[in-house]
C-alpha cells in the first residue's frame, strides 16, 4: 500500500503541475493518500489519535465526507471517542464518484473583488437549513443553481484554507465582480445566505502551529472582500483536540478574533464540530468548554451526526434523546441539558449514504426525527453534506410538515 501511496502522490504532483495549481494542493492529496494507505494496511502511524481521557471513545479522522470530497480515512472505532472528520477541504474538486477531477488552487483569485462588501446577513433566526457545496458543479458559474437548493437558507461554499481558497471557495473567488454580485443577489433574493467553510479535514491548524489571530483576521478579511454573509469553522484537528486544551484555546482565540472583524447582526459565525466532541467525558470539557467560553459569538453549530460508527445516531432515539455508549450524552437533548442552546444545535446528516461512512438516515426517517425534536422544543434546523445529493427535493422532504416550504 505504501507503494500505491507513492504512486498517488506522484500522480497528484503531476496533476498540480499540469494544471498550474500550487504544489500545496497536490501535497494535500499526497498526504491524504498516505493516510488512506496506512489505514488500509493497518498501520496507524502518527495519523491515528491515541486517546483522550478515560471513558471517551477517541474522535478518529474520518473525512467530512463533510467535508472532504475525495480521499478520506476510514473511521476506526476505538473505545475512546470516534469523532470522525467530515470529508472536507481536500484541496481538490471531486466528481460524484469521488474521483479527482481537478486540483483546487489555494491561491487568491486573480480577479478583482468588490471593495464594498454588501453582506446583509442577520445572525439569524432559527431554523437554519444548511447545505455544503464542495464538488464541482456543471453550471454556468460553477455554483449550485438557486432552484436546486430551495428549502435551504444557507449555502456553505467549501473550503477556505489557511493558505487560501480551494474547491468551491476558489470558484467563488474566481468569479468576476459582476458575476459574484449577480450570484449573491440571486441567492439572497431567494432567502439563501452564502457563507464560506474554513479548514476541513485536510488542515490541522493547531498541530501545524497556525496563528489563530492572524488566520482569523485574514479569513475575516476574505469574507468581507468577497462579499459573503459569514463563515463556518469546520475545525478538524483531531490530534490536537484529543490531546488537551491547546485546541480549545486556539478555537476560542480564533472565534473571538473573527467576531471582532465580523460583527454580530451583520455576519454569521457557525462551527461544525463532530458530535462526540461535546461528550462530557473530556477532562478538559471538550466542545462544552468552548461553548461556555465563546458560545455567545457562535450563531449555531452544524453538528456532524455521522461518521461516528455504525451504531451511533442511526435512529431518532440515538440522535435526539440518548446517544449510544461509544459517545454518551451527545444526543441533541443531552447537549441542551449540558448547556448548549437548543436552538443552536443544527442536526447534520449526509445527503445520501455514500456521502458518509455511516450515520445516514433516509429523508423519511430524518423528517420523523425533526418532527419529534420540534415537539420537544427544538427549532434549530438541519445541515447536510453535501450538494448535489442534498438538494431542493431532499430539503423539502426533511422539512416535512414541521417546516413546510
Q: What is the pLDDT of residues 346-374, one digit of tens each?
A: 999 999 999 999 999 999 999 999 999 99
Q: Rg of the chain's alpha carbons, rounded to an integer? A: 19
Integer Cα distance of 27 and 328 in angstroms: 37
Residue corresponding to grid cell 449573491: 184
Per-residue pLDDT of the chain (405 residues; tens, 9 = 90+): 334 444 444 344 344 433 333 323 333 333 333 333 333 333 333 333 323 333 455 655 554 444 433 222 323 232 234 444 344 443 333 322 222 223 333 333 333 333 333 444 434 468 999 999 999 999 999 999 999 999 999 999 999 999 999 999 999 999 999 999 999 999 999 999 999 999 999 999 999 999 999 999 999 999 999 999 999 999 999 999 999 899 999 999 999 999 999 999 999 999 999 999 999 999 899 999 999 999 999 999 999 999 999 999 999 999 999 999 999 999 999 999 999 999 999 999 999 999 999 999 999 999 999 999 999 999 999 999 999 999 999 999 999 999 999
Q: What is the pLDDT of residues 4-40, one digit of tens each?
A: 444 444 344 344 433 333 323 333 333 333 333 333 3
**Summary count for the chain: helices (H), strands (E):** 12, 11
Tell me, what's the pLDDT at 125?
63
Residue 280, number of CB atoms within 10 A of its CB = 16
Nine-digit cell string for 239:
490530534
Integer Cα distance of 251 and 234 in angstroms: 11
* Region for residue 70 given its phi and psi (left: phi exceeds 0; alpha: psi -120 to 50; beta: otherwise): alpha
Tell me, what's the pLDDT at 283?
85
Tell me, what's the pLDDT at 31?
37
Tell me, what's the pLDDT at 61?
53
Tell me, what's the pLDDT at 45?
34
Closest CA to 307 of 97, 57, 117: 57
Tell me, what's the pLDDT at 94?
33
∠ CA 3-4-6, rounded to 5°? 65
Tell me, what's the pLDDT at 62?
55
∠ CA 366-286-75, rounded to 5°? 55
DSSP-derived letter for residue 109 is P
pTM for this model (two decimals): 0.77
Nine-digit cell string for 131:
447545505
Tell me, what's the pLDDT at 26?
35
Phi then psi dihedrals of residue 281, to 5 deg: -85, -10
Structural domains of the chain ordered from first start: 128-399 (3.20.20.80)
Tell me, what's the pLDDT at 244?
86
Amino acid at each position: 500500500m505504501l507503494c500505491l501511496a507513492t504512486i498517488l502522490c506522484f500522480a497528484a504532483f503531476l496533476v498540480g503541475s499540469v494544471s498550474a495549481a500550487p504544489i500545496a494542493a497536490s501535497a494535500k492529496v499526497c498526504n491524504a493518500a498516505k493516510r488512506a494507505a496506512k489505514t488500509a494496511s493497518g498501520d496507524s502511524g502518527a495519523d491515528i489519535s491515541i486517546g483522550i481521557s478515560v471513558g471517551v471513545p477517541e474522535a478518529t479522522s474520518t473525512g467530512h465526507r463533510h467535508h472532504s470530497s475525495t480521499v478520506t480515512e476510514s473511521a476506526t472505532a476505538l473505545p475512546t471517542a470516534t469523532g470522525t472528520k467530515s470529508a472536507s477541504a481536500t484541496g481538490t474538486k471531486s466528481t460524484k464518484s469521488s474521483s479527482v477531477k481537478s486540483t483546487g488552487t489555494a491561491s487568491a483569485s486573480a480577479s478583482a473583488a468588490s471593495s464594498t462588501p454588501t453582506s446583509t446577513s442577520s445572525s439569524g433566526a432559527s431554523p437554519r437549513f444548511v447545505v455544503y457545496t464542495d464538488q464541482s458543479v456543471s453550471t454556468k458559474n460553477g455554483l449550485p443553481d438557486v432552484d436546486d437548493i430551495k428549502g435551504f437558507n444557507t449555502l456553505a461554499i467549501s473550503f477556505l484554507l489557511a493558505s487560501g481558497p480551494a474547491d468551491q471557495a476558489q470558484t467563488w473567488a474566481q468569479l468576476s465582480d459582476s458575476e459574484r454580485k449577480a450570484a449573491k443577489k440571486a441567492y439572497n433574493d431567494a432567502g439563501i445566505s452564502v457563507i464560506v467553510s474554513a479548514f476541513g479535514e485536510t488542515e490541522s491548524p493547531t498541530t501545524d502551529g497556525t496563528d489563530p489571530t492572524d488566520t482569523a483576521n485574514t479569513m475575516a478579511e476574505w469574507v468581507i472582500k468577497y462579499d459573503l454573509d459569514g463563515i463556518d469553522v469546520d475545525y478538524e484537528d483531531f490530534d490536537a483536540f484529543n490531546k488537551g486544551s491547546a485546541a480549545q484555546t486556539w478555537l476560542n482565540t480564533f472565534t473571538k478574533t473573527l467576531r471582532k472583524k465580523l460583527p454580530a447582526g451583520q455576519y454569521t459565525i457557525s462551527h461544525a464540530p463532530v458530535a462526540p466532541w461535546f461528550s462530557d467525558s473530556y477532562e478538559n470539557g471538550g466542545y462544552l468548554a468552548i461553548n461556555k467560553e465563546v458560545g455567545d459569538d457562535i450563531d449555531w453549530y452544524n453538528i456532524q451526526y455521522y461518521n461516528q460508527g455504525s451504531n451511533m445516531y442511526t435512529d431518532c432515539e440515538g440522535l435526539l434523546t440518548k446517544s449510544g455508549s461509544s459517545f454518551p450524552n451527545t444526543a441533541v437533548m443531552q447537549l441542551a441539558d449540558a448547556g448548549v442552546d437548543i436552538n443552536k444545535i443544527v442536526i447534520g446528516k449526509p445527503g445520501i449514504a455514500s456521502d458518509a461512512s455511516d450515520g445516514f438516515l433516509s429523508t423519511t426517517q430524518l423528517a420523523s426525527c425533526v418532527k419529534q425534536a420540534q415537539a420537544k422544543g427544538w427549532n434549530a434546523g438541519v445541515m447536510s453534506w453535501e450538494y448535489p445529493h442534498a438538494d431542493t427535493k431532499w430539503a423539502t422532504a426533511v422539512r416535512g410538515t414541521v417546516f413546510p416550504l
